[in-house]
Amino acid sequence: MLTNWEPWAVLGVLLAVLVGLVRQVAGPDLLLLGALAALLGFGQFSERLPDAPALVAGFGSPGLVTVGALFVVAAGLTQTGATQRLAAVLLGRPSSPAGAMVRLTLPVAGLSAFLNNTPVVAMLLPAVRSWAQRVGVSPSKLFMPLSFAAILGGTCTLIGTSTNLVVADLLRLAPDAETLGIFSIGLVGVPCLAVGLLYLLTVGRVLLPDRGSALPLGGDAREYTVAMRVEAGSPLVGKTVEDAGLRHLPGLYLLEIERDGELIPAVGPEQVLRGDDRLVFVGVVDSVVDLRSVRGLVPDDDQAMKLTGPAARRQLVEAVVSPSCPLLGKTVRAGRFRTAYNAAILAVARDGQRLNQKIGDIVLRPGDTLLLETQPGFADRQRNRRDFFLVSAVSETGPARHARAPVAFAILVALVVSVALGWVSMLAASLLGAAAMWASRCVTGTEARRSIDMQVLVVIGAAIGVGRAVLDSGLAGGVASGILGIVGQHPLLALAAVYLLTNVFTELITNNAAAVLMFPIALTTAHSLDANATPFAIAVMIAASASFATPIGYQTNLMVYGPGGYRFTDYLRVGLPLNALVMAVTLAVTPLVFPF
């Protein structure tokens, strides 16, 4: 029973944050910072609440710094094309929907175990769209499994998600708790992954909707013409157009080849490529961006990039509206979108179809896909803000540094091995890995800064402070007593209650905030039972990541929401059974490998 006013005050702050997140009053970073400010004010009247240094201590936690450093490591792998090259080898070229699903989910889960799953999903979206066109299946049959496989893969290692790192760091500071190794969570995560993938490949595949893509690959989307040159000595030399993967590109076709002054206008799939061949493509903006990342192709500077349009300096940009966009719930005209972003919306896509309303009358929602015409610099500015996801600009997207891909991959392997063998701590390994990526020029200083998701770091740091208030105020003890009052002194039932509560929170707010806020409750519950705290921490990690039932609970779900043409109910239909399966596996396996 909560007899003091402090736990009620903390509970009120938490409820205010929850309501603000659900109603999208502001982003989670701003709401949690506001919660810290409120708790600091309450702390002036009570010694039971943490003081200012304790509330902001989370911003200097090793887990938060590790997450920031790993963003840079992931950027190095992306900028060098290491992840694209590895994905191309693993994914292959499936010829059927079932084959595409198998070849998609396994490599994505593997990559997400060692890389942040957000760039993994962003990197593979164009490839998945290409598959959809090749095998004649709607992208909605593949985009949701792409996100779900990335989430499941992140539960297999300590570095798979920022949630795992932060909870492991909090557990390390708990009294009499064990330190988790990089693969410790995999003892539970791998079984969850196996069951989850089996579900996606069988029952889940049947439940997936069949809808078109958000932005049709044809139609009135602005097309671009782009000339690329085959580098002499590149891997493309000697390959046919089909084998080089240039035959079935989404929204893009090979118009002609110029070779030694002669023109080959009708390019067949068996045409063999030669060094210095000049390839002329026609396609939409996203496909032009993807084309420039093909290893062995370099831009031909003599060819104009644009088909039409008198404004030579303008560019087309595709962007997906995020939950933290300040114009949500407003019409484009009332929100003065052009003034706010110096960009004009050409089209809005939602649920797989363009809207029939005039652009100015459309009310913006999270997951809307916008086709924008804007001035250079838009993508650069928006990378440092969280108003949009997947901002993609043609003229400012350079080719990958393919020559440094082996170096980037070697740095990742060294990081994982050094931590697994206990040579260095996770914090030291991540910082050394980030420094090595910069020193070896796998990533520039500007790219490294852009890669760090400050919203994620602010959410983690602020949530740690709020979690400290939950513990110190007595709210954690009160909630733990309530849980035990319902389930009794049975550790497994208490574990189930902690998992379920965390899972509900993560579907409504963000995974990092849900994990950090639930951790003190889980820890107090374990101590009240005189049980090992590790299985409760593992349950919080898995439950906070296992967000499949809503598009807003996990960032990758929202990233595929608009492009896949999904509806909110699609996540409920496909995701709720997966939530239940992962929970069942976690509760069955965790006590076996981490006894109470």
**Pick from 570, 453, 551, 569: nearest CA to 508:** 551
Q: Give the range with max mean pLDDT: 102-111, 118-127, 155-164, 585-594.
A: 585-594
Q: Does 330 map to a domain?
A: yes
Higher-pLDDT residue of 234, 390: 234
Query: Do 80 and 86 touch, CB atoms closer than 8 A?
Result: no
Query: Do 564 and 213 touch, CB atoms closer than 8 A?
Result: yes
How confident is the model over 241-249, as a mean pLDDT? 72
317 φ/ψ angles, rounded to the nearest 5 degrees: -135, 135
Query: Do 483 and 497 touch, CB atoms closer than 8 A?
Result: yes
**Looking at the predicted structure, is the pLDDT value of residue 354 above 50?**
no
Q: How far, in Å, CA of 444 to CA of 45, rounded?
A: 48
- Confidence tier at 133 by pLDDT (50, 70, 90): low
Q: By residue range, what is the domain housing residue 253?
A: 223-299
Q: How far, in Å, CA of 167 to CA of 185, rounded?
A: 11
Residues 332 and 358 in one domain: yes
Please tell me whether residue 258 adopts helix, strand or coil conformation: strand
Lowest mean pLDDT among 185-199, 372-386, 410-424, 542-556: 372-386
- Confidence tier at 306 by pLDDT (50, 70, 90): very low
Q: How far, in Å, CA of 331 to CA of 452, rounded?
A: 31
Q: Which amino acid is at 82?
A: A
The helix (run of H) or strand (run of E) holding residue 223 is strand 223-230
309: phi > 0 → left, psi -120 to 50 → alpha, else beta; which? Answer: left
Q: Does 142 map to a domain?
A: no
Percent helix, strand and coil across the chain, each to the nearest 5: 55, 10, 35
Q: Which amino acid is at 24?
A: Q
Lowest mean pLDDT among 4-8, 102-106, 372-376: 372-376
Residues 227 and 266 in one domain: yes
How confident is the model over 187-191, as a mean pLDDT? 93
Render pLDDT for 578-592 as a digit per residue (tens, 0 to 9): 999 999 999 999 999
What is the pLDDT, as a whole number, of residue 249? 63
**Pick from 521, 468, 481, 378: nearest CA to 52:** 468
**Looking at the predicted structure, is the pLDDT value of residue 32 above 70?**
yes
Q: Give the range with max mean pLDDT: 176-185, 307-316, 386-395, 516-525.
A: 516-525
Q: How wide is the angle at C-alpha 190 spanned by C-alphas 184 and 196, nearest 5°?
A: 145
384 φ/ψ angles, rounded to the nearest 5 degrees: -95, 5
Q: Which amino acid is at 55?
A: L
Q: Does 205 map to a domain?
A: no
Residues 294 and 327 in one domain: no
How confident is the model over 415-435, as a mean pLDDT? 84
Q: Does 359 map to a domain?
A: yes
Whole-number average pLDDT of the chain: 78
Residues 272 and 242 in one domain: yes
Altogether, the residues listed in the chain come to a count of: 596
What is the pLDDT, as a whole number, of residue 386? 79
Please classify residue 482 by burial: count the beta carbons closer than 10 Å to its beta carbon, then call 0-12 exposed, 13-18 middle and 19+ buried: middle
Q: How far, in Å, CA of 244 to CA of 178, rounded?
A: 50
What is the pLDDT, as a whole number, of residue 559? 72
Render pLDDT for 455-466 as a digit per residue (tens, 0 to 9): 778 877 887 787
Q: Does 227 map to a domain?
A: yes
Query: What's this model's pTM, rounded to 2 decimal places?
Result: 0.63
Render pLDDT for 552-561 as a digit per residue (tens, 0 to 9): 667 778 777 7
**Pick from 324, 347, 345: nearest CA to 336:** 345
Tokens representing residue 22 in the block: 């659900």
Last residue of a domain, one of 272, 299, 326: 299
What is the pLDDT, as a whole number, of residue 302? 40
Render pLDDT for 69-105 as a digit per residue (tens, 0 to 9): 888 887 888 778 776 666 666 666 666 667 778 888 8
List, in sequence order, every residue forming a beta bridge with 226; answer none if it has no partner.
281
Please classify residue 261 by burial: count the beta carbons closer than 10 Å to its beta carbon, then call 0-12 exposed, 13-18 middle and 19+ buried: exposed
Side-by-side strand order, sheet with 223-230: 262-264, 252-259, 278-284, 223-230, 297-299
Lowest mean pLDDT among 212-226, 259-273, 316-330: 212-226
Please classify residue 63 by burial: count the beta carbons closer than 10 Å to its beta carbon, then call 0-12 exposed, 13-18 middle and 19+ buried: buried
What is the pLDDT, as a whole number, of residue 395? 44
**Looking at the predicted structure, is the pLDDT value of residue 368 above 70?**
yes
What is the pLDDT, as a whole number, of residue 214? 43
Q: How far, in Å, CA of 200 to CA of 64, rounded?
A: 32
Residues 267 and 334 in one domain: no
381 φ/ψ angles, rounded to the nearest 5 degrees: -70, -40
Last residue of a domain, one of 382, 405, 421: 382
Last residue of a domain, one of 352, 367, 382: 382
Provide the domain count of the chain: 2
Q: Give the range with max mean pLDDT: 167-176, 414-423, 572-581.
A: 572-581
Query: Do 298 and 228 touch, CB atoms closer than 8 A?
Result: yes
What is the pLDDT, as a whole number, of residue 197? 93
Q: Which domain CATH number covers 241?
A: 3.30.70.1450
What is the pLDDT, as a whole number, of residue 394? 54
What is the pLDDT, as a whole number, of residue 290? 63
User: Which residues, 6+ apart, have CB-to-CB distance to 571 below 8 Å?
Assistant: 144, 548, 549, 550, 551, 557
